[in-house]
Each structure stands twice: as C-alpha cells, then as structure tokens.
Amino acid sequence: MTLPEGNPEMNSAEVTGPDEVVWHPEATEGPIASPAFDEVTRQRAKEIIARYPQSRSALLPMLHLVQSVENHVSQAGIRFCSEMLEITTAEVSAVATFYTMYKRNPCGEHLVSVCTNTLCAAMGGDAIYARLQDKLGSEGRPLGHEETAGEPGTPGSITLEHAECLAACDLAPVIQVNYEYFDNQSVDSAEELVDALRRGEKPHPTRGAPLTDLRTVELELAGFHPDLAAVAEGPSIAPETVRGAVLADERGWTAPARPAEHPALPPLPEAKP
C-alpha cells in the first residue's frame, strides 16, 4: 500500500499490515503547535477525561470542546483529541464523521436547524426550509445544507441545516437555533427570526435557556457552564406536551392496575433446519 504524497495526515502514518495503521503524531504539526488549543483548553480536556473510568469514553464531550474553540472539528482538533485520549486519529475521525452534530466546516455564529421530518414537513417545515435557503443564499443559488451565510464565526453569520427530527412533533413545525427550541413556526415567523439573528439580536426561545451563540453552547455541551443560572431559566415543557396528563388528572383517568401475575409467554417457534 502506498500513501499519497502531499497529505501530512497520511504521510505521518505507517502501514504495518493490510488493516492496521499506526499514527505518529510527532510527524506532523500537532495540537500543541496550534494556538487554538491553549493551556485553558488542555486543562478543560483533562477535566473531561477525569470524569470517565476509561479515557476514550470522553471523546464525545471532547469533540464539543473542540467545536467551542474552533467552531467546527478540524484536522488539528482531531489530532488534539487523539493526543489527549491516546487513541488513533482514525478512531476520532470515525466518531466525528458519524454524528451530524459535529461539523467539519466552520460554522456561523448561529446554527439554525429546521426540522423536515414527516410531521414538521407536513405542517410547513419544508416550506420554511426552502424560504430560508432562498433568503440566506445568493441570487439564483439557495443556501445549501450546512452552508453558512456570512463569514463563519462573525456576528450575524448563520449556518443552515435541515434536521431529520427535533423531537417536538407536538409543536410542529419547529426550528432550533443553537439547539434551543422555537416552536409552532411559520414561514413568516422563521424569516423574522433569521432577520433578528442577522441584526445581532437574540430572540428568546419558546422554552429553555436564553439564546447565546453556538460556541457557548458547545462549551456547555462539553460540561462547562459559564452562566449556570441562565441555563435553568425558562420553561422546559410546553402546554401541548403535557395536555394528555392534564386531561387525565382533570377527568380522573388512571392506567389499569398491574396484574399480580403476568400470563406466561407462548413458546418460541422452533427454528427451521
């Protein structure tokens, strides 16, 4: 197997067998040389790792920590996690590319997620997403999935994505901004929300904590809360979500009592030869 030239990530690896690659972090520019991963970030990484019996279990919050610093997961961020957790860059990359919450390109100040799963789509989610694509795109070219309007990281910049499900079907259609909910949206209200974000405003979500920026949220997801009091503000549920429980209480409805003995399960069918 021949490693391609001109790729420091690959040229710093040694192929020892058909399926095994050994990573040599000293062979390329490592995270220590990157100003993004300063001593504060390294100390936070150590705090994350200390929470787990096995250090590799800390990879998910470590990737959120990387995003709080870089606004995405870069190759330098992957090397940083690899070094701190003493695992290969291939193992880090496998996780970073599996979960859609880890972004491989720099994001805007805000991440706007539009639910386009079945119920939200039927209630207007597809129309909302299409309107925001046109609004945030350039003339003749709608903004694509996970593309950014404005210079990434600058005030008012927005990364747009369609989400498969935001787990709020009772409040469809929904949008998240930096993972905070804006429920019962319409095309017009979604457009007004994006306009406010681009002006530098931070509209209060329908429920949950006050709106911040994506980097702050990523730091919170890593387990560090600069303003813990603010995180606890705001309602965490909506009336629609608990309507069934309220009706049951008002009308005296209760679940059937659990039987003292469960009936025996039928035998499993025999496996066919």
Q: Tell me the residue ranges of DSSP E strands in the chain.
A: 13-17, 20-23, 110-115, 147-149, 158-163, 175-177, 180-182
Place of tokens 């008012």: 156
Place of tokens 């020892």: 16
Which residues neighbour 129 within 8 Å (Cβ) at sequence distance 6 or greater?
Answer: 114, 116, 160, 162
Q: Could you tell me if 73 and 63 are in contact, meaning their C-beta atoms sit under 8 angstroms apart? A: yes
Task: Report pLDDT for 199.
Answer: 96
CATH of 110-231, one of 3.40.30.10, 1.10.760.10, 3.50.50.60, 3.40.50.300: 3.40.30.10
Contacts by 165-169, CB closer than 8 A, 24 or more apart: 165/115, 165/117, 166/113, 166/115, 166/117, 166/120, 168/115, 169/119, 169/120
How many angstroms separate the CA atoms of 238 and 245, rounded? 12
How many angstroms separate the CA atoms of 256 and 273, rounded? 42
Residue extents of the structural domains in the chain: 8-96, 110-231
Give the pLDDT confidence of 162-203 residue by residue, as tens digits.
Answer: 999 999 999 999 999 999 999 999 999 999 999 999 999 999
Which residues neighbour 150 within 8 Å (Cβ) at sequence distance 6 or greater?
Answer: 108, 156, 157, 158, 198
Give the pLDDT confidence of 32-51 residue by residue, as tens digits.
Answer: 445 679 999 999 999 999 99
Length of the chain: 273
Q: Could you tell me if 211 and 177 are in contact, meaning their C-beta atoms sit under 8 angstroms apart? A: yes
pLDDT at residue 249 tops 70:
yes
Task: Report pLDDT for 226.
Answer: 74
Q: Please state, rounded to an integer, the average pLDDT across all residues of the chain.
A: 85
Structure tokens at 27: 């062979």
CB-based burial, 150-189: b 16+ in 10 Å, e otherwise: bebbeebbbbbbbbeebebbbbbbbbbbbbbbbbbbeeee
**CATH T-level topology, domain 8-96:** Arc Repressor Mutant, subunit A (1.10.10)
Look at residues 40, 11, 21, 30 and name the one whose alpha carbon lies nearest to residue 77: 30
